[in-house]
Amino acid sequence: MNIIVSSWPGAGASILGFFLAKILKYNLLRASSVFRELGRAMNFADTGAGRIQADDYLEDYFSPLYDKYIGYKLKSQSNLVIETDIIKKEELDPSSFTAVFLTAPYEVRAKRLVFDQRDKDSDLLKERDLNLKTKYQVLYGYDWFSLKELHKNYDLIIDNSHLTLANELDMVYRVLYQRGLISKDRLSELLKVTAEVTGEIMPNTKDKILNELAQNNQIISGVSIIKEMSTILETEITGLPLDIRNAVNQIIQLPNSV
């Protein structure tokens, strides 16, 4: 069983993915870590305008390869939580995953980014929304901000404007149960565990959970992903623009850190 978690910027895919990996004891694979590694290697900033510029450039060339990589992982591995912005379900094997998408209004997402000490990202949220909507319309052929289109590609859509993290997790577990992927006893066990491990989300919660997952060797780092991609998608990597190829070559020389 694998779980794909996506969201609009600031809607909370990262924290949901972290806790799913922690509670289920799954490995965590994050698209954001891949694109950040590439952006750094190309001297783009991690946040703010630099992140938008990096994604705007990399999405056209690297996203199709990353989608192929996700398809490969879904076929070859189980017990993964995969965090990625968007999927096109018809291009993947739907029996190999359950896909969850989190939504929230712009105002809610902007406040969450400020709370998470990501003020630069909050200031540019409207620009990032528009940029990704336009980009994904071209790359995936549907409106990323259309709930109707999202329902075609995801098994569960959650508006978490007024929900706790425990509420979100409960909804995911119940979908897994409805799809016959976990037993009733396992559902009850997960609901009990969730109540014990989730509490108030603070600005440092993500770092604490990431560190815990890293200590348990549950994170597939951006460096490790790019190295694996360069092996299984060698021909496609060779066809990338020179600056992106150079960034990939620079990254594969690095140790497999988180």
In a domain, 257, yes or no: no
Residue 258's pLDDT is 47
Residues 207 and 198 sit within 8 Å (Cβ to Cβ)? no
Burial annotation 165-187 (CB, 10 A radius, 16+ → b, else e): bbebbbbbbebbbeeeebeeeeb
In a domain, 258, yes or no: no
The total number of structural domains that make up the chain: 1
Token pair in block for residue 7: 């969201």
Look up the CATH number of the domain holding residue 182. 3.40.50.300
In a domain, 256, yes or no: no
Per-residue pLDDT tens digits for 52-87? 788 888 989 999 999 999 999 999 999 999 999 999
Mean pLDDT of 106-123: 81
Distance separating alpha carbons of residues 206 and 201, to the nearest angstrom: 9
In a domain, 216, yes or no: yes
* Nearest CA-CA partner of 78 in 98, 64, 54, 56: 98
Q: What percentage of the chain's residues is helix, strand, coil (to nearest 5)?
A: 60, 10, 30
Adjacent-strand bridge partners of 69: none
> How many other β-carbons are positioned within 10 Å of the β-carbon of residue 70?
21
According to DSSP, residue 103 is labeled E
Q: What average pLDDT does the structure give for the chain?
A: 91
* Nearest CA-CA partner of 49 in 113, 136, 135, 121: 121
Can you give the residue range of the structural domain that contains 161? 2-251
pLDDT band at residue 96 using 50, 70 and 90 as cut-offs: very high
Query: pTM to 2 decimals?
Result: 0.92
